[in-house]
A and B are shown apart, each in its own frame.
Chain A
């Protein structure tokens, strides 16, 4: 019976993996299909939907906006989060555990609730600039991911190295830059990549903060999906999947996927 259970669980694993990959894999053949409907199996081969992306002005603009917001919010989180994490780990501030919980707590709040709260706050203080509101909100969204990985990396970092650098003539900030940063770079990379993906993919917070001129990619894609679904979306999706896999491969080289996935 033990063997039967083992075989059964292996079969379930195989089915689960197929099930998980299927919706991602399916967009690839669709994107190369010449017809406008998403039929399976596809008939023929065409790159027309990829050419179509260039004409899809909305998508390109949204792509550029999302890249900016994700990049900037990740960078800000990285800077603020790392400084805060150092203060927590080194005991420069009292109540370090509580502060760490606070900094990672946006993870526990449903995205829509966060979005609504920020929408109301933005209205209350008269913040009308959609770009600024999005950026601020995305820093909150990315902060927990940065905090988690940086805190974990710092726990393994020997801070005597910072003292050593100071004794060799580096000021405290210079010591952090020259010794701490290069040594926890893998943590930065995996935290930043995760934060970037989370921001890039965020829908429920962004939906309340976008306006007609500033739409992030997920919002634009969903709009398009509801308005006029055609395989152009599949082409965009295929490109996103390929880019994601490339980013993961780079990250795997640098830190290893398992460390990244440590939930």
Chain B
């Protein structure tokens, strides 16, 4: 390569703590990561969220040094790591199944990294004790790790990774082996520990709730690229792509075609009538109009500044936090599923005619995916 593009720091600001620049990784002929860029600030907790096969675990392994990228660079705390082998990177990893060493006790597992650093016996003992205290596992120091429950094993895996004071902590779906209730407790507990220690963390998950709960920022990944990097609220309220919209949270979506565009607002012709939205598209573009469930009201007066869908209710599916409405368009007979936060008092009888309305400002428009254009 003739010129390696440096991850340019924004003018005036110091360079980010972790910089991943133009990273590309291939397996044979398949490109798993394509020219990927990511920056993380010190002390931040960033989630890599995406479906399986999106490259999030590959990115994690590249940062860890367990794989080599074809091109690109990785810098942590001003230290160029691209060519540094895994064991010299000072990166901590909590593995999916924890990868505890069954031939060692709990304390020996936690001490493993410290003995590699040739610390004194006293220091190892003290720091292992502190780490076990931190994850509330001190009484288990001399147990065998195979005798521990899933949650306890996870605590040990965390203690083992943070006791060496890594420059960055990587977590590879650490909750996937736990049952749901335990998972929620552990999420909050882990978040507290990491925040108290101020450890910069990158967290791989395919579970959007987990990412929303734990993260300062979320990187939604798809097909080897980051589609949207932002705060949880940002990701949810203004997703940058249709994929992000679909992957995080629920939504009601209508395919259509832009008929007019002026003043930062477009009008879209759909099977359920014309919708307006704040966006800029050329007339004639195939698009998808979308709205989040909590923006939708039922049967409220339509008026200026609101989009309306009139349809006959065919089915109501109660899903706890959300309710799914199956509707059939009056004009076209097309089917639509709408998700709303709560039913109006008195419920909705099947077969009733509804008007769903939402504010134009809450309406999102995305270019239609090539295959699903109407």
Contacts and interface: CB of A to CB of B under 8 A. Distances in A.
Are chains A and B touching directly in their complex (CB below 8 angstroms)?
yes
Interface of A: 158, 160-161, 163-172, 174-175, 179, 182-183
A164 B93 contact: yes
B262 to A, nearest CB: 56
A118 B216 CA distance: 67
Given A170-B116, A179-B101, 20 more contacts: A160-B97, A160-B99, A161-B101, A163-B64, A163-B95, A163-B99, A164-B93, A164-B99, A164-B101, A166-B65, A167-B66, A167-B92, A167-B93, A167-B161, A168-B87, A168-B164, A169-B88, A169-B116, A169-B164, A170-B87
A49 to B, nearest CB: 46
A179 B160 CA distance: 15
Nearest to A175: B87
A160 to B, nearest CB: 4
Contacts of A158: 97, 99
B102 interface: yes
Interchain residue pairs A-B with the least CB separation, the first 4? A169-B116, A168-B113, A160-B99, A164-B99
B112 interface: yes
B93 A163 contact: yes
A168 B89 CA distance: 9
B86 interface: yes
11 contacts: A160-B96, A160-B99, A163-B66, A163-B86, A164-B95, A167-B64, A167-B91, A168-B113, A168-B116, A172-B87, A183-B102
A161 B116 CA distance: 15
B108 to A, nearest CB: 11
A165 B112 contact: yes
Nearest to B166: A167
A171 B96 CA distance: 21
A248 to B, nearest CB: 24
B153 to A, nearest CB: 12
A163 B117 CA distance: 17
Given A164-B95, A167-B92, A169-B164, A182 B116 contact: no
Contacts of A166: 65-66, 86-87
A49 B47 CA distance: 77
B93 A169 contact: no
A14 to B, nearest CB: 41
A166 B66 CA distance: 8
Given A160-B95, A164-B95, A165-B112, A171 B87 contact: yes
A161 B87 CA distance: 13
B103 interface: yes
B103 A168 contact: no
Interface in B68-93: 85-89, 91-93
A234 to B, nearest CB: 43
A179 B108 CA distance: 12
A178 to B, nearest CB: 8
B160 to A, nearest CB: 7
A230 B340 CA distance: 96
A183 B103 contact: yes
B97 A182 contact: no
A172 B160 CA distance: 19
Contacts of B92: 167
A169 B103 contact: no
A234 B65 CA distance: 61
Most buried by B among A166, A171, A182: A166
Contacts of A163: 64, 66, 86, 93, 95, 99
Nearest to B89: A167
A169 B95 contact: no
A142 B97 CA distance: 35
A165 B102 CA distance: 13
Interface in B98-149: 99-103, 112-113, 116-117
Most buried by B among A160, A170, A183: A160
B167 to A, nearest CB: 12
Contacts of A172: 87
Contacts of B95: 160, 163-164
Contact of A171 (B85, B93, B101, B117): B85
A158 B99 CA distance: 7
B165 to A, nearest CB: 12
Contacts of A169: 87-88, 113, 116-117, 164
A95 to B, nearest CB: 14
Contacts of A161: 99-101
A222 to B, nearest CB: 44
Interface string B49-68: 00000000000000011100
Most buried by A among B64, B92, B101: B101
A158 B177 CA distance: 15
Contacts of B103: 182-183
Contacts of A182: 103
B74 to A, nearest CB: 15
Contacts of B100: 161, 164
Nearest to A164: B99
Contacts of A165: 101, 112
B127 to A, nearest CB: 13
A162 to B, nearest CB: 8
Contacts of B93: 163-164, 167
A156 to B, nearest CB: 11
